Structure 1
Amino acid sequence: MKAISVDGVSPTKETVKDGTYPIARSLYLYTWEKTSLKEGKFIDFILSEEGQNIVGEEGFVPAR
C-alpha cells in the first residue's frame, strides 16, 4: 500500500499530526477504573519512548 497526496497535501508525520492530511485517523486506547496491572503496564509501555519508537517503526505516527 502506498500513501498518496490528497488535495495537494502530502502524507507526512507533520500533516498527519496537525490534521491537515484529510484521510488520517487517530487510534485510541481506552481503559477503565478496574484496569489490571498488566493492562496498565502495557499502556505505560506503549506511551514510553521505547514503545513510541516501535509505533514509528511500524509506520504509524507516534503520539509523542
Structure 2
Amino acid sequence: MDKDLHKKSLKLAGRKYKLEDPHEKDSISKALAITHEQVSDAYTEGQIDPVIEEADGKDM
C-alpha cells in the first residue's frame, strides 16, 4: 500500500463530528452530521424506531 494513501486513510478513520460539519460539502462531513442528528434525536425523544429525515425534509 502506498504510504501517502495509508496516511490519508488513517486521517479519515479518525474523523469526529465538528459543529461546522453540516456546512461542509464533502460526503464524510455530511454523513457525520446526519448521524449526529439521528443519535441526538433518538436520545432526546427516546424513540426505538425513529424516522430518518434528511435536511431537505424528505423521509428516507
Which of the pair is proportionally richer in helix?
2
Q: TM-score, normalised by structure 2?
A: 0.31
The answer to which structure, 1 or 2, has the higher relative contact order (CA under 8 A, 6+ apart) is 1
TM value normalised by structure 1: 0.29
